[in-house]
């Protein structure tokens, strides 16, 4: 059994990070950093991974949660990116089936010409990309489209094209990589910020205690997502392309208010494609793509952002009339893209780029997608091997299952509703067995129907959750997909955490206040 990612393992990692020189220090525990750390550790590289806030606290918990086949890149003529995305989603399906669940995407068409164009595009995609026979596209005529997706507005509808993408849970995908890195010997710590950086030397501050640690590493990889430029500045690393951040937001409404059967792609007022996705008793709507000036953890959701998504939703579906008052939660994130002069946000390439600063040796990586993280990590670790002057063991991440992906989920307590069971399977995969080993009764947290009490204990003992936000936002996803943003269970969750982590009353109250104000911010529109 893999060793636990626990508060004790974090304390040991912080202590050991400074004990002797590492081969590799990875800064940033989003999907990029977590993927690199796991690959490197599996190949025998002595690796440290530090994350300033919590694993996936940045962009990697705020994506659309889709493992894309890359159809969009076909429109941009980037065949290599299409092939990579489609290949990588097949890999993820193999190494972590719970984190890549097939999701039928329905794209309504409103004219014969666009219907035929879509058919040609989907046909071309399947010639270029590896697509399983069962996942091949279908074209529906108007009657079929209305029968299969009855919520579609019939007005002007010609038909629809369908294809399969995969639904993931972004924060849990990151966590599985961090757990895998830890299991292979990497020293990993969240709430550990790099506050200064010179060639091969970093000062890491434990943001929970204020203590600092000096870390030496032969190679340092800057995987700080939207903060890549800030870290380069901190390190005195110049040169290479700059980042251009773009913001994307999502709105969540109860599924009963937007009862779609499938994920449906809509055309926004500016002709961009946006979509709705049913998940865990809710439906989410995404996403926007607008320039954003600064790297911040929680970019605001404006009324204009919400109106943009709701206008298309209310036009595409009949009789729904969704208003901002129906929105139970939102999330927003920043895409760490590489600046391209004169291009609109949606035109900027999603390709990743590696930049090595000649003077400091700092390796920075930016751009990319959740979908292709594994290949991106493989390339970076190959580069790390070159810089270490060592022939590394071959990359094995396309075959070694991610933690939770080793075995299917066991039978779950019958008292849970089907969508509650599918939520548990998606978040934990085979690790559901570990949850049930603590208590098989399926008892839920007071005030949080569908969320097991043992999930909170498991998050602390085996997933290094140290704050209320770590548990409710990124481990259980209650902040996003519970209709009450997890607020109904805040006191009960805090009580479990206080007992296990030794919080006093003041710390417990502070955690609750912080969580409440985070949730309130995500319900108000700037």
Ligand X SMILES: Cc1cc2nc3c(=O)[nH]c(=O)nc-3n(C[C@H](O)[C@H](O)[C@H](O)COP(=O)(O)OP(=O)(O)OC[C@H]3O[C@@H](n4cnc5c(N)ncnc54)[C@H](O)[C@@H]3O)c2cc1C
Burial class of 437 by CB neighbour count within 10 A (0 to 12, 13 to 18, 19+): exposed
Count CB neighbours of 391 within 10 A. 8
Q: Which of 371, 397, 422, 493 binds ligand X (CB under 6 A)?
A: 371
Q: How far is the CB of 229 from ligand X (least distance, A)?
A: 10
403 binds ligand X (CB under 6 A): no
29 binds ligand X (CB under 6 A): yes
Residue 102 C-alpha from the chain's centroid: 17
Burial class of 138 by CB neighbour count within 10 A (0 to 12, 13 to 18, 19+): middle
- Sort strands 47-50 and 22-27 into parallel, antiparallel or unpaired: parallel
For 356-410, what is the HEC assignment? Answer: ECCCCCCEEEECCCCCCHHHHHHHHHHHHHHHHCCCCCCCCCCCCCCCCCCCCCC
368 binds ligand X (CB under 6 A): yes
Closest CA to 29 of 45, 42, 44, 47: 47
Burial class of 383 by CB neighbour count within 10 A (0 to 12, 13 to 18, 19+): middle
Contact 322, 310 (CB under 8 A): yes
Q: Which of 30, 429, 450, 489 binds ligand X (CB under 6 A)?
A: 30
287 binds ligand X (CB under 6 A): yes
Decide whether 285 or 456 has the Cβ nearer to ligand X: 285
- Most distant CA atoms of the chain, gap in Å: 68
Q: Which of 10, 36, 39, 59 binds ligand X (CB under 6 A)?
A: 59
Q: How far is the CB of 103 from ligand X (least distance, A)?
A: 11
299 binds ligand X (CB under 6 A): no
Among positive and negative, which fits the CA dihedral 401, 403, 404, 408?
positive
Decide whether 73 or 140 has the Cβ nearer to ligand X: 73
Q: How far is the CB of 280 from ligand X (least distance, A)?
A: 17
Decide whether 28 or 442 has the Cβ nearer to ligand X: 28
Q: Residue 255: which residues within 8 A CB-CB, separation 6 or more?
A: 278, 281, 282, 283
Helices (H), 43-169: 71-75, 79-95, 112-128, 142-148
Which H or E run contains 197?
strand 192-198
Stretches 303-311, 365-373, 392-400, 454-462: which one binds ligand X (CB under 6 A)?
Answer: 365-373
Closest CA to 437 of 406, 463, 410, 414: 410
70 binds ligand X (CB under 6 A): no
CA distance 120 to 115: 9
Stretches 3-11, 21-29, 263-271, 315-323: which one binds ligand X (CB under 6 A)?
Answer: 21-29
Decide whether 179 or 287 has the Cβ nearer to ligand X: 287
Residue 140 C-alpha from the chain's centroid: 32
Distances (CA, A) of 340 to 241, 432, 446: 9, 44, 50
Q: Which of 81, 194, 282, 456 binds ligand X (CB under 6 A)?
A: 194
Decide whether 140 or 275 has the Cβ nearer to ligand X: 275
Number of residues that bind ligand X (CB under 6 A): 39
Helices (H), 129-205: 142-148, 170-183
Tell which positions 216-275 bind ligand X, by CB under 6 A. 223-227, 231, 248
Residue 64 C-alpha from the chain's centroid: 8
Q: Which of 92, 176, 188, 370 binds ligand X (CB under 6 A)?
A: 370
Per-residue binding string, ligand X, 322-351, x by CB under 6 A, is -----------xxxx---------------
Decide whether 63 or 493 has the Cβ nearer to ligand X: 63
58 binds ligand X (CB under 6 A): yes
50 binds ligand X (CB under 6 A): yes
**Whole-angstrom Cα Rg for the chain:** 22
Decide whether 38 or 369 has the Cβ nearer to ligand X: 369
309 binds ligand X (CB under 6 A): no
53 binds ligand X (CB under 6 A): yes
Decide whether 90 or 444 has the Cβ nearer to ligand X: 90
Decide whether 37 or 145 has the Cβ nearer to ligand X: 37
450 binds ligand X (CB under 6 A): no
Q: How far is the CB of 119 from ligand X (least distance, A)?
A: 24
Decide whether 59 or 164 has the Cβ nearer to ligand X: 59
Q: Which residues bind ligand X (CB under 6 A)?
A: 27-33, 50-53, 57-60, 62-66, 68, 193-194, 223-227, 231, 248, 287, 333-336, 368-371
């Amino acid at each position: 059994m893999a060793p636990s990612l626990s508060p004790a393992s974090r304390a040991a990692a912080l202590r050991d990070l400074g004990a002797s020189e590492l081969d590799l220090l990875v800064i940033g525990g989003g999907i990029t950093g977590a993927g690199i750390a796991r690959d490197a550790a599996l190949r025998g590289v002595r690796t440290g991974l530090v994350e300033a806030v919590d694993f996936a606290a940045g962009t990697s918990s705020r994506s659309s949660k889709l493992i894309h086949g890359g159809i969009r890149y076909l429109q941009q003529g980037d065949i290599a990116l299409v092939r990579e995305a489609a290949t990588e989603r097949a890999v993820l399906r193999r190494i972590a089936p719970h984190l890549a669940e097939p999701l039928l995407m329905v794209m309504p068409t409103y004219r014969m010409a666009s219907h035929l164009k879509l058919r040609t595009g989907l046909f071309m995609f399947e010639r270029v990309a590896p697509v399983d026979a069962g996942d091949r596209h279908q074209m529906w005529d108007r009657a079929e489209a209305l029968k299969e997706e009855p919520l579609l507005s019939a007005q002007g509808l010609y038909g629809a094209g369908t294809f399969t993408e995969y639904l993931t849970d972004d924060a849990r995908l990151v966590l599985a990589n961090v757990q895998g890195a830890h299991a292979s010997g990497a020293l990993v710590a969240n709430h550990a910020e790099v506050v200064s950086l010179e060639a091969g030397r970093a000062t890491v501050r434990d943001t929970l205690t204020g203590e600092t640690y000096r870390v030496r590493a032969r190679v340092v990889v800057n995987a700080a997502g939207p903060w890549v430029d800030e870290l380069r500045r901190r390190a005195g690393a110049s040169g290479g392309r700059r980042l251009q951040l773009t913001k994307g937001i999502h709105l969540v409404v109860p599924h009963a208010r937007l009862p779609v059967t499938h994920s449906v792609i809509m055309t926004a007022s500016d002709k961009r494609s946006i979509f709705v996705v049913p998940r865990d008793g809710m439906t989410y709507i995404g996403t926007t793509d607008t320039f954003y000036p600064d790297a911040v953890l929680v970019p605001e959701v404006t009324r204009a952002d919400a109106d943009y998504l709701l206008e298309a939703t209310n036009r595409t579906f009949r009789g729904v009339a969704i208003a901002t008052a129906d929105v139970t939660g939102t999330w927003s994130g920043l895409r760490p893209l590489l600046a391209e002069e004169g291009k609109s946000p949606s035109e900027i390439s999603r390709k990743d780029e590696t930049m090595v600063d000649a003077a400091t040796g700092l390796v920075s990586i930016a751009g990319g997608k959740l979908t292709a993280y594994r290949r991106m990590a493989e390339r970076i670790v190959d580069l790390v091997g070159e810089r270490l002057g060592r022939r590394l063991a071959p990359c094995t991440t396309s075959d070694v299952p991610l933690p939770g992906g080793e075995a299917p989920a066991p039978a779950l307590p019958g008292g849970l509703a089907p969508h509650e069971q599918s939520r548990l399977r998606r978040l934990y995969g085979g690790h559901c067995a570990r949850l049930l080993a603590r208590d098989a009764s399926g008892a839920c947290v007071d005030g949080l129907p569908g969320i097991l009490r043992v999930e909170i204990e498991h998050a602390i003992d085996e997933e290094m959750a140290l704050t209320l936000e770590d548990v409710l936002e990124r481990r259980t996803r209650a902040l996003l997909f519970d209709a009450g943003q997890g607020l109904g269970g805040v006191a009960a969750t805090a009580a479990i955490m206080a007992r296990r982590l030794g919080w006093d009353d003041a710390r417990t109250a502070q955690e609750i206040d912080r969580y409440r104000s985070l949730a309130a911010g995500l319900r108000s529109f700037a």
